[in-house]
Amino acid sequence: MALIKDNSKTILEKWVHQFSDELYSWAFFKTSSKEVAEDLVQDTFLVAFHKIDSFEGKSQPKTWLFAILNNKIIDYYRLSARTTKKNFSLTESSGNELSEGLFSSYGCWKSTEIKESWNNNEVELLDNPEFNDVMEECLEDLPTKWKLAVTSKYLTVKKTEEICQDLDITPSNYWQIVHRSKLLMKKCLDLKWD
């Protein structure tokens, strides 16, 4: 596509104006962080700028840009998994202990009580900024590997095999991590969300 090579700056500027909002919305949906979403979109356009000569026009520009963004999102979560927080409060061992405490010795839930706020159909919790802040805080409290397993499964919608490979764990270990993470997230939300 000689046209793209000749007008790459003009075309890229057009794409920035056309697709920035959609790319940002997707990145924010996947990361729940305004700053991270902005950085990922900026990185997407930088990659597009450097590789615009390789764009052959076999797909729509939007599709190409979203493919770049999705790779940036995956890279972001891989880096997050490798980076450990210095003030991390919950380890895998303590996470296991906490989630074990949710069941009786017979393997039944200790409490089957569901808070009233969870049953209110009029409230769309994921549209509530305060709820999202609490949920993000609870997600941050998970051990690093657990957080990556949950975000990979539910935010980047990766396949189990890919997640297991990224985390270097077995599928049965993965499902146990996801299950325990959901239990701890529920417990954290029950405590912190009114």
DSSP collapsed to 3 states, 27-62: HHHHHCCHHHHHHHHHHHHHHHHHHHHHCCCCCCHH
pLDDT tier at 88 (50, 70, 90 boundaries)?
Answer: very low
How is residue 109 annotated by DSSP?
B
CA 149 – CA 144 distance, rounded (Å): 9
Average pLDDT over residues 145-163: 86
pLDDT tier at 23 (50, 70, 90 boundaries)?
Answer: very high
How is residue 103 annotated by DSSP?
B
CA 150 – CA 174 distance, rounded (Å): 10
Return the CATH number of the domain spanning residue range 2-82: 1.10.1740.10
Is 105's pLDDT higher than 70? no
Beta bridge partner(s), residue 103: 109
CATH 1.10.1740.10 domain residues, the chain: 2-82
CATH 1.10.10.10 domain residues, the chain: 92-192
pLDDT tier at 183 (50, 70, 90 boundaries)?
Answer: confident
Mean predicted lDDT score pLDDT of the chain: 77
Contact between 37 and 31 (Cβ < 8 Å): yes
Average pLDDT over residues 76-102: 57
pLDDT tier at 85 (50, 70, 90 boundaries)?
Answer: very low
Q: 53-57, 72-76, 118-122: which has the minimum mean pLDDT?
A: 118-122
Q: Which CATH architecture has domain 92-192?
A: Orthogonal Bundle (1.10)
Residue that wins the pLDDT comparison between 2 and 188: 188
